[in-house]
Structure formats: structure tokens, C-alpha cells
Amino acid sequence: MSVTVSWKAAGHALVSPSEMAKADRLAVEGGVPSADLMEAAGRAVADLAAETMSARRASGPIVVLAGPGNNGGDGFVSARYLREWGFDCAVMPLGDPAALKGDAALMRDRFDGPVIEAAPDALADAAMIIDALFGAGLNKPLEGMAAELVDAANESRAIRIAVDLPSGLCGATGRVSGSCFRADATVTFFAPKPGHILAPGRFLCGGQDHLHVADIGIKDAILAKTGANTYLNDPGLWGLDYPHAGPTSHKYVRGHLLVLGGREPALGACRLASIAALRVGGGLVTLAAPSETYPIQAGALTDVLVRRIDSNFGFLGILADPRIAVTLLGPGAGIGEKTAELAIRALESGRNVVLDADALSSFAGRLDALAVQNKADVVLTPHEGEFARLFSDLDPNEDRLGAARKAAKRVGGIVVLKGVSTVIAAPDGRAAINANAPAWLSVGGTGDVLSGMIAGLMVQGMPAFEAACAAVWLHGEAAMGIGPGMIASDLLDAIPSVLP
């Protein structure tokens, strides 16, 4: 049985532990015995364990740490298969295995191999440790013997495989409090959970290339019934909405974007955003440059129309051109009333608006001002500091997905909460987690490039949520191709190489 089943399409949906429990329940109601699910789960773990032992040419004892619930049940199944295949495999239960119930008790009884006392020292000589302590049912930080076993496993030289989730990791939020098993690889079932993709969960599972999604007999069709609306951000999610240039497309079809020019000292920010918008296929970009900066901007830009503005009215005068579909405010715009006023007027004009950087900070404490009539799409692209200023009651460190979702609902727009796991959330509840951003992307100016990419895709007619997802993913891919030492402007030349 192949372990690494190509991940179910269905838009690469992720399921929370509670949605997974619903999938489980629906499968059983649909006639699949729950014991069969556990048997398939445990078999998938054993497959990966056996494959890994031979791939690493490892030999020696395998210890399965079995917890008090169904995660532990999976562990007993995997141990049974591994022994059938000739491996020296023992189960080390946490607590009294006689207390196991239901399917876990059944699988315990089917296991006739050694059951050894829980002792952290006994893990030192293991060639492999399989963590079947806790999975979707984790409901508090590890403590006592559970924590000691996980800490000892992490300090050992053993290959470490996690069943469903590394024990200590919350499947819903990707958060860890206290000890957590550090897996070299993880086998989960049916679909990944947000905790497998959100940092630090992604790293504790062994990295995305070592996250195996096993088919345990729950039909794809059940996914839609779980209500899952969280996605891994990748082309599978937004590819169908991507605005490929057609033979008849010309610059006005590909859209006209208006960018508000920046002021000292961040004159380059709006240039980065403007070129980025063209690089992703935007047809035309006008940069409205405050008069004192006009000569600099006009001298620095070839591909962008540069218009001089002496005041807000100048900007609004340009905005009156009906061909302008999207406007981007923020990069270098200056924080304050004037910038906020322009954003509101742009929204009132029915244009799609991307708010970044200073435009975001200009709304601190007055987000309600964004709730204008006949508002088109608005996309906010805060980093964590800007998010804290705008949504001081929401804590991304507690629940990143939940915070981004609540923020999106509150502003009635798309919120791109940037970071090592950028989350794109829509007011209708959809959210995507991005997982391809390399560490070197956190350098000045990359946010300006991203905001320009989002605006550049929206101006071509791509729906706001999908445009934000696509831009975030392309932004990460472009950075991956450049490598350490990258500066923001390098991204501009790298974008064409990653466009679909």
C-alpha cells in the first residue's frame, strides 16, 4: 500500500482536527468501520517506517510510543505490521494499556509483540521512534512522563516518525506550548491540518516534503461535507483564476493601476510596487508623484507613467479616469489623515484598493472608516506590527488563522497577514496558508513588491482573494529562486521566471 498518496485535489483543502473528526464520523456513517480506518492509518505508518528504515539502511529496535487514545491505537497497528515484516518492534504505552477503549483496545489485543514499560532511558538505543502518543486529541501541553518521553526521543539518535501530528503540536493552530516531538517525517490521514503547514508545525513535522498524506478509505466527496475552507496556498488553489494574457489582450484589457507616490525617505517603495505590477502582467501603471519628488520618480522610471500631483485633489483628478480599475496606496505614502482620506475616496469611487504600509498605519484606531458604501474589493497587507496596530484585540501568536479571519470579516476585505506563514483571509471565511517563503524574503522593500503584485493581478480582473494568494505564492517562489543576499529589487527581474 503506497503511503504517499498524491494529496487529494479538492483545491488542496486543509482540515482542522474538528473537521477531521467530522470526516471520520461521516465515513463511519457511510459504512466504513472505524476499526478499518485505524487499521489503514496504522498500516500507512508502518509502510513509511519500513521504507525509511531501508532507505536509511538502518537496523535496530523500533519503539512505538503509544498514547491513551486512538493515536495510540494507530501505533499498535503499525507495530503489528512492522513485526510481521521482521522488524524488532516494541510498544511503549503511556499509562496502562488496559485503559484503552474502543478501536484502540481492539488493536492493542491484536498486537502480540513486546509491550515495554515507559522509560525515557530505554529510548537511547532505538533505531526509530514512532510517536503515537497524541494526535488530533491533544488538549493541553505535554507534562510528566509524556514530556519526558518526547524530550528523550528528541535527544536520541533515532529516526523519528510522527503519527498524524507530532505530540505537543496543535493541529488547528500549529502552535506548541511545552515539549513537542520533532519528527523527521509525519504521516497524516485524508488531508493535512493547518498545524502541518503553519510554522513551527511545518518544521516539527519534518518539513512539507516529509509530510505524507495517507488515504485511509475516507472518500474525497466527504471533504466538501466537513465545511473545510482552509487551503494550502499553491497554484492548485488559484490557477483557474489566473489571468493569462490572451492574443487579444492589450494594455487597457490588462488593466490600468494607479499608485500613490511616496515621500522621503521611501521614494523607492512606490517604484518597486509599480514595476512589480507590470511584471505580473498589469497593462498600465500610473504613479501619482508629489511634485517635490516628481523629477526623481520620472527620472527613475521608464515603464511607468509618472504624473505630478500637488495635493490630494491631484490624485483624485487622475483617479477620475474610468480606465483606472485598481489603486494602490501605502508604500512610502506617509502616515496620517491625508493618506487615509485618499484611500477612502478611492474606495468610495468603487475602485478596488490595495492598502499597504503607511496606508494601513493611517487607519490605526479608525478601521470603521473603511466601511464605505458601494465598496469594491479592498486588500490589506499588514505585517505583524501593522496588524497589531489595526487589530489590537486579535493575537496572531495565539491563533494566526483565526486572527486573520476575524480581521477580514471586520474590514469586509482580504487581509494578507504577512510572516513566515503568510495567511490570506477573506471576509467569507476562506483562508489560505502560504508555506514557500524563504527566510531571506524578510528584507526591506519586499512588501512593496508584494503589494504591487497583488494590485497587478487584480487590475487584470483576477478576484481579490485569488490574486492575493497567487501574488504571495509567486513572491515566495521568485525569492526561492534568488537565494540568500537577495534584495527587494532582485524580485522584479525574477518574477517572469515563476509566472504560470
Ligand X SMILES: NC(=O)C1=CN([C@@H]2O[C@H](COP(=O)(O)OP(=O)(O)OC[C@H]3O[C@@H](n4cnc5c(N)ncnc54)[C@H](OP(=O)(O)O)[C@@H]3O)[C@@H](O)[C@H]2O)[C@H](O)CC1
Known binding positions: 70-74, 131, 135-141, 164, 167, 269, 332, 383, 418-422, 447-448
Site of grid cell 510481521? 84
Give the count of residues interacting with K ion (CB under 5 A). 5
| Residue of 16, 64, 65, 69 interacting with ligand X (CB under 6 A) | 69
| Residue of 61, 93, 97, 135 interacting with ligand X (CB under 6 A) | 135
Q: Which amino acid is at 293?
A: T
DSSP of 135-175, one letter per residue?
STT--S---HHHHHHHHHHHHSSSEEEEESS-TTB-TTT--
Shortest Cβ 42–K ion spacing (Å): 12
Cell of 227: 465545511
Residue span binding ligand X (CB under 6 A) among the ranges 50-58, 63-71, 332-340, 444-452: 63-71
Residue 189 is a binding residue for ligand X (CB under 6 A): yes
Q: Of 247, 226, 308, 172, whose CA–CA distance to 19 is shortest?
A: 226
Nearer to ligand X, 49 or 467 (CB): 49
Residue 74 is a binding residue for K ion (CB under 5 A): no
Residue span binding ligand X (CB under 6 A) among the ranges 133-141, 228-236, 433-441, 487-495: 133-141
Residue 192 is a binding residue for ligand X (CB under 6 A): no
Contact 430, 440 (CB under 8 A): no
Site of grid cell 525569492? 479
Shortest Cβ 225–ligand X spacing (Å): 14
Buried b or exposed e, range 432-469, using 16+ CB within 10 angstroms: bbbbbbbebbeeebbbbbbbbbbbbbbbbebbbbbbbb
User: CA angle 189-234-401, nearest 5°?
Assistant: 70
- List all residues 6 or more positions away from 242 whose beta carbon is below 8 Å from its beta carbon: 235, 457, 462, 466, 470, 500
Contact 435, 464 (CB under 8 A): no
| Residue of 3, 13, 14, 20 interacting with ligand X (CB under 6 A) | 20
Contact 435, 208 (CB under 8 A): yes
Give the count of residues interacting with ligand X (CB under 6 A). 27
Residue 231 is a binding residue for ligand X (CB under 6 A): no
| Residue of 14, 47, 63, 70 interacting with ligand X (CB under 6 A) | 70
Cell of 129: 521512534
Residue 446 is a binding residue for ligand X (CB under 6 A): no
Nearer to ligand X, 189 or 231 (CB): 189
| Residue of 44, 50, 136, 333 interacting with ligand X (CB under 6 A) | 136
The entry of ligand X, K ion, none near residue 69 (CB within 5 to 8 angstroms by kind) is ligand X
Shortest Cβ 114–ligand X spacing (Å): 22
Residue 163 is a binding residue for K ion (CB under 5 A): yes
SS (H, E, C) 51-79: HHHHHCCCCCCEEEEECCCHHHHHHHHHH
Q: How far apart are CA 253 and CA 271, in angstroms?
A: 22
The entry of ligand X, K ion, none near residue 131 (CB within 5 to 8 angstroms by kind) is K ion
Shortest Cβ 188–ligand X spacing (Å): 8
Nearer to ligand X, 74 or 358 (CB): 74
| Residue of 68, 201, 243, 290 interacting with ligand X (CB under 6 A) | 68
Shortest Cβ 282–ligand X spacing (Å): 44
The entry of ligand X, K ion, none near residue 70 (CB within 5 to 8 angstroms by kind) is ligand X
Shortest Cβ 281–ligand X spacing (Å): 42
End-to-end CA, the chain? 34
Residue span binding ligand X (CB under 6 A) among the ranges 70-78, 195-203, 409-417, 455-463: 70-78
Shortest Cβ 24–K ion spacing (Å): 16
Q: How far apart are CA 229 and CA 226, in angstroms?
A: 9
Question: Which stretches does DSSP call E strand in 102-245?
Answer: 128-132, 159-163, 185-189, 211-214, 230-232
Binders in 21-50 for ligand X, by CB under 6 A: 24, 37-38, 41
Q: How far apart are CA 151 and CA 91, in angstroms?
A: 18
Shortest Cβ 27–ligand X spacing (Å): 7
| Residue of 131, 358, 386, 399 interacting with K ion (CB under 5 A) | 131
Q: Is the peptide bond before 265 cis (omega within 30 degrees of 0)?
A: yes
- Binding residues for K ion, rule: CB under 5 A, are 131, 135, 162-163, 167
| Chain positions contacting ligand X, by CB under 6 A | 20, 24, 37-38, 41, 67-74, 134-142, 146, 163-164, 189, 216
